[in-house]
Amino acid sequence: MLAVIGGSGLSQLANLDISHREVVRTPYGDPSGPVTLGRICGEPVAFLARHGYGHTIPPHEVNYRANLWALQKLGAQRIVSVASVGSIRPDLKPGDVVIPHQIIDYTWGRKSTFHEGPDGKVTHIDFTEPYDADLRRQLMDAAASAGVPVSDSSVYAATQGPRLETAAEIDRYERDGADVVGMTGMPEAALARELGVPYAAINLVVNYAAGRADSRHGIKFEAIESVLQESMSHVRSIIGELVMR
C-alpha cells in the first residue's frame, strides 16, 4: 500500500475513493489525526494530513514518530511526503515541483528516533542517501507520465520553524549547499528509514526564500496561498500516476 503524508495545501486527496478512516493508537502518542484509507484507480492508498485535518499542528509539534508508526501499522509499503518549500535558487520558481535527493537537518528538540528509552538498544541507521532510490525513480517516472516537469536533484534544508528564516540564514543554507527550505522534512525521513519503509518526498515551491527575488523585502503569505491553490494539482496528478507503479 502507498501512504501519502500531506502538508500545507494538501489536507485531502481529491482523487481518493475513501473507504474508511482509522484512529491508530501508538506507543508514541497520537498521530496528527485519523488515517484516511481508500483507493485511487483501484489501488489501496492511505492518507494522513501532517498538520491535522484542521491545519492546527505546527511543524515543530507534529508527532512524526506516531504518524510513521501508524502508517506502517496499517500496512504502508512506501511513503510519499508532500510538503511545500521555499526556494533558495533563482531557477526554482514558485509553482515548480522538486523531488529532493539530499537533506541537511537544522531542526532541534524534536523526537527523532524510535530507539531510545530504558529498553532501547543503541541503533544507528545508514542515512547516506536519505530518500529511497527506487521510490524517487517511481516518482520521476510518475511525474513524466503526468506531464509535470520536476527538478530531480535538490538539497532540502529542514528548519525548525514555525517562523520563516532571516535573509542571513538563507545565505548560510545556500553556502551549505541547500536548494530548498522547509520545516517538516526531518525527522520524518529518518524515522521512515528506522522503520525500514521506503520514503521519498515531493516538494512544491511556494515562495522564494527570505531575502531572495520577490521575497527581498519580505514574504507575501497571500502569494503562497495562491501558489498552493494553483499548483497542488500537479502534485495530485503525480500521485495519481504513482499508485499504478
- Which residues make up the interface to ligand HPA (CB under 6 A)? 84-86, 159, 164-165, 181-183, 206-207, 209
Nearer to ligand HPA, 147 or 162 (CB): 162
CB of 219 to ligand HPA, least distance (A): 6
CB contact at 8 A, 33 and 79: no
CB contact at 8 A, 7 and 81: yes
CB of 159 to ligand HPA, least distance (A): 5
CB of 129 to ligand HPA, least distance (A): 23
Helix (H), strand (E), coil (C) string for 3-44? EEEECCCCCCCCCCEEEEEECCCECCECCCCCEEEEEECCEE
C-alpha cell at 59: 511543524
Give the list of residues 6+ apart from residue 225 with CB closer than 8 angstroms, or none: none
CB of 98 to ligand HPA, least distance (A): 12
Q: Which long-range contacts (CB under 8 A, 24 or more apart) does 35-38 make?
A: 35/3, 35/70, 35/71, 35/74, 36/12, 37/74
CB of 205 to ligand HPA, least distance (A): 8
CB of 54 to ligand HPA, least distance (A): 19
Nearer to ligand HPA, 36 or 84 (CB): 84
Nearer to ligand HPA, 62 or 70 (CB): 62
Nearer to ligand HPA, 219 or 238 (CB): 219
Cα–Cα distance list, 72 to 63, 109, 151, 225, 243 (Å): 15, 24, 28, 31, 17
Nearer to ligand HPA, 85 or 98 (CB): 85
Closest listed residue to residue 5, CA positions, set 41, 73, 75, 52: 52
Please identify the residue of the shown chain whose CB is closest to the bound ligand HPA.
Answer: 86
Nearer to ligand HPA, 31 or 86 (CB): 86
